[in-house]
Structure 1
Amino acid sequence: MSDKKWKVLILYASYGDGHIQVSKALHESFRRHGVDDVLMVDLFAEAHPAINAMTRYLYLKSYKVLPQVYGWLYYGTKKMPTDTLMGKWIYSFGFGKLKEIIMQERPDLVINTFPMLVMPELRKKTGVVIPAYTVLTDFELHYRWIDPLIDKFYVATEDLKEQVACVGIPAQKINVSGIPLKESFQQPIRTEEVFEKYGIDCGKKTVLIMAGSYGVLQGLKALCESVTEIPDTQVLIVCGKNKLLLHEMKHAFSMQREIKIFGYVDEIHELMSVSHCMITKPGGITISEALITELPLLFYRPVPGQERDNANFLTSKGAAMIAYKPEMLTEQIRQMLTNNKLRDSIKQAMQKLRKTNSAETVVLDILNDMEWKSPNRTLLPLTKGG
């Protein structure tokens, strides 16, 4: 690899916490490989702050109010071609701001960690060719990820590679890398130190409940009460950034030692390492974290859209279980904690899907790809007329 110092632009969006976590993981990996000039941009927030704030609010509310509406929008556009009138409008969202950033920063390459196709639109409208890479952060395909002008796609599984190839993307442009995670998930953990750090009883079976980064998992209080009825079981509740939920849970369970309550936990891999199973929203990043730690997954009432698709994919592979009713979930937890054969079967299925060192895989492949692209490439001038 040459000594060329590339300048990297990573585009993400702040709908949930996963896309920024993937971006940070890539940023860390680039720095480990001597690429220090990495700029991360929340493009939609930069381009249209008011619209972005409103749509983020509606996105989070969709988990509690009319999730079917979000599902209708998601599935209604899932296979929408890029050349339709609506498709062109959606895919050019943030165009002006991205053009401004490109003019100012002059990056050598751009990485998408959110389904946005504004980079190909920039190329079509201005003629400026900048290598563009897309890291898919789910386990099922939505067409918003795909454009033939993207140089390379990084996907979670062989199944997803097949889906992308069926859309017409050449197989050599699709790398089964897994979803990038921060470096701490690749490091060994001393579990005895984790037990002590968080005050966890090492003699009990542990159920980890992840409410999502914004604490949107439904029926949390009743769920915790039912789990603690299982003998020799303790519960770890992670409320994310939802301070109201954190306060409610602490008030409700202040006298119950077998329930530990946390807000946002940055070192979540530590809690995963000492848990026997995890109840969570089926976001792509959380799933990938569970796969790496081989922590059996239980999905409760996954909402329509990418999360339900993710959940259905994992269960079809035998790597997770889904429940839509509280009593069904409680029974699944009981089985997961008492049936070693079931746990082993799920872990074996997870091992077939897990990808280690995904951030390194993506970064090294991009750097190798950049080596054979013209080192003397120059950007065409970007004028206001575009």
Structure 2
Amino acid sequence: MLAGRILIIYASYGDGHLQAARAIRDALQRQGIEASRIRLVDLMAQASPLLNEVSRRFYMHSYSKLPTLYGWVYDRTRPMKHDSLFGGWLHSFGKEKLRRLLLTERPDAVVYTFPVFAAPASRTKAYPHVPTSAVVTDFDLHCRWVHPHVDRYFVATAELKTELVKLGIADRRITVSGIPIKPSFAELQPNPQWYAKYGFPEDRPIVLVMAGAAGVMPDVPEVCEALLEDKAVHIALVCGRNETLAASLRIRFQHQLAETGGRLHLFGYVETIHELMAIADCLVTKPGGITLSEGLAAGLPLFIYRPVPGQEKHNALFLHSKGAAQIARHPQELSAAIRSLLHNPIQLAVHRQAARALGRSGAADTVALDILQQCLIMEEASSPTHY
């Protein structure tokens, strides 16, 4: 039985890192770890609230308003070393906060779903070594994730494991777990009640369009208009927390909304997104690691619309290379690709199989069990030997 706590460190740059942290927390609780002994920490937000807010807003604006600049910075820093000037600066954030957390909480393990390792703080003389794990939340590897003070790496694919091995990380320290998602995606099957719950007919194709947690996918109105040209298609549009986007769409599509007899179903943030994915025939999305992992676990053909340079573009290209995703850059191109697939049952089945082949719905449990095993090994190593 573990005596201390487990710290899960995340960051609020997008929603995915928090979702992964929560999935791991829930998996630990399913293994019998009490909720009070698991602490989720937004390290940057707690260490420096003002700097966190400024940098978070800069990230969101550069990502959505200046994607070319964001992609250039991402690609230029992708091979960076942890001890480079820039790498060392990035990993210094939250150093003092983490040091205090380690000394006061005395955790048995530290898990990162965001690569801000605050490295020196985790190896102080005042506190012994704590098993440290990094859970990579994309299908692409930025070397910011690579650090000598990380004991275990959990990655989405065998290709990422190969990359880490080439960078000098021992094979035994890397687990191909997938990206942690909610357990509701395990063996997900359509439930007839969900069609009625969300107002969809069971005999019409459903295209699920997810604009992202912040609702920032571009050209959402134009995408909907192009999709609605197919009279058989119903659209489930999830706007996330972007209330402005939802309000503008309600005005623009007032005659096409489901409540007025149309085929456009509009949603805000959907906690039970697995239900919509289960009844959908395909998914249109921005290529965040969590949403893509959920779509793969649900066996959905993926359509990635205008991926921005950086990790999301690399995510899209990887899944496209595996036959699990198509990439479109214009609404009509997207609509034509979806129509072609929906009206070809054989190709639809092929794409579903490609998605399922990459899906790993049990990733959170894999991570949780490995972490607990590390803790057990450390506990046994520190226990006195009796003869």
- TM, length-normalised to structure 2: 0.93
Contact 2:2-2:375 within 8 A present in 1 as well: no
Structure-1 residue corresponding to 2:16: 18
Q: Distance in 2 between matches of 1:200 and 1:264?
A: 18
- Equivalences for 1:290-369 in 2 at 5 Å? 290-369=295-374
The alpha carbon displacement at 1:244 in A equals: 0.4
SS at match of 1:373: helix
Letter aligned with residue 329 of structure 1: L
SS at match of 2:64: coil
Structure-2 residue corresponding to 1:381: none
Is the aligned partner of 1:260 residue 2:265? yes
- Equivalences for 1:136-215 in 2 at 5 Å? 136-186=136-186, 188-189=188-189, 191-215=191-215
Letter aligned with residue 122 of structure 1: A
Structure-2 residue corresponding to 1:285: 290
Contact 1:131-1:151 within 8 A present in 2 as well: yes
SS at match of 1:108: strand
Q: Distance in 2 between matches of 1:169 and 1:349?
A: 29
Q: Distance in 1 between matches of 2:96 and 2:336?
A: 52
SS at match of 2:287: coil
Which string of whole-angstrom CA distances, capped at 9 and with x for unpartnered residues, describes residues 100-129 of structure 1? 2222211111000012221x3324565742
The alpha carbon displacement at 1:71 in A equals: 0.8
Contact 1:301-1:324 within 8 A present in 2 as well: yes
Q: Distance in 2 between matches of 1:333 and 1:198?
A: 22
Contact 2:284-2:305 within 8 A present in 1 as well: yes
For structure 1, the 5+ residue unaligned runs are: 379-386
Larger displacement relative to structure 2 (257-266 or 59-68):
59-68
Letter aligned with residue 267 of structure 1: T
Larger displacement relative to structure 2 (144-153 or 237-246):
144-153
Q: Distance in 2 between matches of 1:22 and 1:287?
A: 13
Structure-1 residue corresponding to 2:88: 88
SS at match of 1:62: helix
Q: Distance in 1 between matches of 2:2 and 2:84?
A: 40
SS at match of 2:107: coil
Which string of whole-angstrom CA distances, capped at 9 and with x for unpartnered residues, describes residues 232-271 of structure 1? 1011110000110111111212221200000000000000
The alpha carbon displacement at 1:293 in A equals: 0.4
Structure-2 residue corresponding to 1:384: none
Q: Distance in 1 between matches of 2:153 and 2:168?
A: 12
Q: Distance in 1 between matches of 2:73 and 2:64?
A: 16
Q: Distance in 2 between matches of 1:67 and 1:20?
A: 23
Q: Distance in 2 between matches of 1:274 and 1:43?
A: 37
Identity %: 41
Letter aligned with residue 14 of structure 1: S
The alpha carbon displacement at 1:231 in A equals: 2.6
Contact 2:4-2:105 within 8 A present in 1 as well: no
Contact 2:212-2:240 within 8 A present in 1 as well: yes
Letter aligned with residue 366 of structure 2: T
Contact 2:96-2:121 within 8 A present in 1 as well: no
Structure-2 residue corresponding to 1:247: 247
Q: Distance in 1 between matches of 2:225 and 2:334?
A: 12
SS at match of 1:202: coil
Letter aligned with residue 54 of structure 1: V
Contact 2:190-2:278 within 8 A present in 1 as well: no
- TM, length-normalised to structure 1: 0.93
Structure-2 residue corresponding to 1:382: none
Larger displacement relative to structure 2 (258-267 or 199-208):
199-208
SS at match of 2:246: helix
Contact 1:117-1:146 within 8 A present in 2 as well: no
Aligned residues: 375
The alpha carbon displacement at 1:189 in A equals: 4.7
For structure 2, the 5+ residue unaligned runs are: 257-261
Residues 83 and 137 of structure 1: is their aligned pair in 2 closer, same or farther, counting only changes over 3 Å?
same
The alpha carbon displacement at 1:341 in A equals: 2.5
The alpha carbon displacement at 1:340 in A equals: 2.0
Structure-2 residue corresponding to 1:230: 230
Q: Distance in 1 between matches of 2:51 and 2:288?
A: 23
Which string of whole-angstrom CA distances, capped at 9 and with x for unpartnered residues, describes residues 318-354 of structure 1? 1100011222112111112112232222222222212
Contact 1:13-1:44 within 8 A present in 2 as well: yes
SS at match of 2:2: coil
